Amino acid sequence: MNQYKISINNRGNIISTDSYQNINIDLGFEVILTNQKIKLVGLKNLPQTDNLYSVAINFIKELLVRNENLYITFSGKDMYGRWLCNLYIIESSNSIIHLNELLLKKSYCTPYIHKLDEKY
């Protein structure tokens, strides 16, 4: 699966713990998809009433602001036009963070299993 570098127009555009907007996706050869929406695949957002919700949002913002080497792999779009993605962060120490897995590990999202006959 191909990886694509992304940038975020405004770091405050985190819709929920699993969905972000105003994402620019660099496809290479000077082709950039601008102002895209992405959803982290395999995750379900925490309800806004959950005590961890604001902690999770602040954690994600901090992580995305601190790092510029953001990459995604995607498998298509959902019924809302969001790219279904795995998001990877390459830190200055060259360690790779798989954001989808990290959010699950910290309980900032819950697992979402896509059913074959269901629209994502």
Q: What are the structural domain ranges in the chain?
A: 4-109
What distance in Å separates the CA atoms of residue 10 and residue 65, rounded to the nearest whole number?
A: 10
- Is the per-residue pLDDT at 11 higher than 70? no
- Is the per-residue pLDDT at 73 higher than 80? yes
Q: What is the pTM of this model?
A: 0.88
Nearest residue to 89 (alpha-carbon basis) of 79, 80, 98 = 98
The stretch 47-59 carries a mean pLDDT of 93
Q: Tell me, what's the pLDDT at 46?
A: 92
The tokens describing 56, both together, are 């999770």
Domain 4-109 is found in CATH 2.40.50.90: yes
Q: Tell me, what's the pLDDT at 92?
A: 82
What distance in Å separates the CA atoms of residue 107 and residue 65, rounded to the nearest whole number?
A: 21
